[in-house]
Every structure is written in C-alpha cells, then in structure tokens.
Amino acid sequence: MRIVCLSDTHGFHDQIQVPEGDLLIHAGDLTTTGSEEEVRTVAAWLDRLPHRWKLVIAGNHDRFFEWLPEYAPAYLPAGVIYLQDSGVEIEGLRFWGSPWQPWFCDWAFNLPRRGAKLREKWNLIPLDTDVLITHGPPHGILDEVRGRMTAWGPSEEGSGPLGCEELAIRLATVKPRLHVFGHIHDGFGFIKKENTTHVNASVCNEDYLPVNPVWVVDLKPDGQPLVRAMPPGKGKQRKIERKRCVE
C-alpha cells in the first residue's frame, strides 16, 4: 500500500502537489485558526483528491473539531475518515488516530504534560496497531526546534525535545510499524527506531511556509516501510537515503 503523509498544511493545501497513492493521511493542523470556513475550504480540497482512502485527525490549530466534536467531522466529505481516539482497518492494516499533545499555549487538544490524562489517551492505542497517527511527536523523536536567525535579525534559540513523554512510553509497548505526526515543524523528516518508522510530515516550516516535501511510504505486509519524498512544487519523486535517517 502506498501511503501519502501530510501534516501542518495550515490552509496552504492548494499550494501543495499531493503525490498519487492508495491512502492519504493528514496528521492535523489542516487550518490556521480552526474556523468553520477554513474547515469547509479544507473539506472541499480533500474531496478533490483522488486517493481511495483518506484518514484525517485534528491538530492544535483545528479548534473547530474540539469546539464541536459531534458535528465538525460531518463537514468532511464522504470517503474521509476522521479519527479521534479511534481506529479503522483497511486492507488488513490497522490504523489508529489521536489529536492530543502536551499543553501548548492555549490551542486545542491540550492536556497537562506527563499527566494521567495523556496517559489515559495513549493507553487507548491498541497493541496490534500497524499505523499510528498522532498530531504531536513522542519525546525525543523529530521534536526539536533548531536555533536560527529570524527575519528581525537576532538569533532565535532552539529547543530541547518537545514531544510527549507519555506517548513515548506507550510506543515502547505498542511498537507500530509506522507512526505519522507533525506539530513540530522543524522536526520534519523520518527516522527508524527499533521496529517503528517515525515520519514527521509537517509541510510548513517554522515560518509557516509550505516548503517541505511530502512523504510517501510504501508499506507492505512484510518488510520495512520504504519512505520517499515528493517536493511540494512540481518535480519528480526522489528517494531519500535511508542510511542518513536510521539510528
């Protein structure tokens, strides 16, 4: 199965060339402010995409899904499966999606860091999950912001790991074959740790520009996931050297 992985498009979806594939995953932050109108616009874009299956979770910017959890998913077109602490099986692969993250400013789907509430959410992830979709990363995996020069001149300090400790603990038990997330834009990339290939699929960078390539994962019943990247503009698919991304 060819899986196209997106996250953190923040309303720039029309500027992204979405690769062909069997199944599309969007790991949250489809919008900028999470307004009803933004959700309608994103829903129309999702409806135009040709992928046979489309799985979506919300992110911290997608407030509409937290404000109206019973009604917001109905704005998505038929054929789009919204996951919120829920799962679906497709072609023998078991998917699970969840939008939560450690408290981040005053956005949506926040829970106290290293607390029982986050642990309760992650303990819902079934042990037989093949593909896990969360908005935020686990602690220590593709979850840091790099130091950089800002548009105003002075350097901006980087961060240490920002991912969820409780999620990392649960992943040590569940061990999904593929974990797709975003949230930390600077963490864009992929890495294999033990039995899990982790993909930070953030399309936007820290300046909220949609410049990152779109990840495509070929996931077969046996064998390791093969990760490729498609540039956000026009261009041919290119393979990313696996040896640079494995620990």
pLDDT per residue as tens, the chain (247 positions): 999 999 999 999 999 999 999 999 999 999 999 999 999 999 999 999 999 999 999 999 999 999 999 999 999 999 999 999 999 999 999 999 999 999 887 889 999 998 899 999 999 999 999 999 999 999 999 999 887 666 655 555 667 799 999 999 999 999 999 999 999 999 999 999 999 999 999 999 999 999 999 999 999 877 789 999 886 544 333 333 333 332 2
How far is 154 from 47, CA to CA, in rounded Å?
43
Q: Residue 71: what pLDDT?
A: 94
202, 75, 68, 38 alpha-carbon torsion, rounded to 10°:
50
Q: Residue 149: what pLDDT?
A: 65
| Contact between 49 and 14 (Cβ < 8 Å) | no
Q: Residue 239: what pLDDT?
A: 37
> The tokens of 53 are what?
């299956």
For residues 31-67, b (16+ Cβ closer than 10 Å) or e, as one string? beebeeebbebbbebbeebebebbbbbbbbbbbbbbe
Whole-Å CA distances, 1 to 91, 218, 238, 242? 8, 6, 18, 19
Three-state SS letters, 95-115: EEEECCEECCCCCCCEECCCC
How far is 114 from 167, CA to CA, in rounded Å?
9
52, 8, 74, 46 alpha-carbon torsion, rounded to 10°:
-40
Q: Residue 243: what pLDDT?
A: 31
25 φ, ψ (degrees, to nearest 5): -115, 130
| Contact between 214 and 18 (Cβ < 8 Å) | yes
How far is 13 from 18, CA to CA, in rounded Å?
9
Q: Residue 153: what pLDDT?
A: 58
| Contact between 137 and 200 (Cβ < 8 Å) | yes
Q: Residue 240: what pLDDT?
A: 33
Q: Residue 154: what pLDDT?
A: 55
Whole-Å CA distances, 32 to 143, 150, 246? 20, 21, 32
Q: Residue 146: what pLDDT?
A: 82
Q: Residue 221: what pLDDT?
A: 77
| Contact between 182 and 27 (Cβ < 8 Å) | yes
